[in-house]
Amino acid sequence: MSCALPHLMRRSDYLRVARVGRAWAMPGVVVQVCRQPTERSSEPVAVSCRVGITASRKVGKAVARNRVRRRLRAAAREVLRQHGMTGCDYVLIGRAATLSRPFPALVADLTTALKRLRAYRAATTQAEPTRDGAGFP
């Protein structure tokens, strides 16, 4: 039994990730990532990564878009649970090729994009992204 990853709830979160974060396109998925905003109130800092999944009408009709989102959700559950950096927001954007792409290739696309964005955490370490050029802004 696998429980769901925390997900982005508001449109403003998706827009912030697109505006502030970094993106990498792969054949099966476009990945956007940025750090979660730090709250100036007494609320604790985020302890896990959050994920948002979207697919535009360019992908196809509603059935195709829903299938793309289900496939991306499964890939995110497999990859981000072990390799997602805490305190980061991820947005996965489905593409037309997501429908026909084999699932192992889709997982490999997501993993490669995370590594290219320097938002990939090795399973044994709990590295945090930094603002000194080694991570993303």
Per-residue pLDDT tens over the stretch 40-99: 554 555 568 899 999 999 999 999 999 999 999 999 999 988 888 888 899 999 999 999
- 3-14 pLDDT, tens per residue? 678 889 999 999
- Topology adopted by domain 11-37+44-116: Ribosomal Protein S5; domain 2 (3.30.230)
* Domain ranges across the chain: 11-37+44-116
Q: Kindly list the distances between the CA atom of residue 28 and the CA atoms of 24, 87, 111, in Å, as whole numbers in the listed order.
A: 11, 25, 11
CA 104 to chain centre: 17
With 0-12 / 13-18 / 19 or more C-beta atoms within 10 angstroms meaning exposed / middle / buried, residue 15 is exposed
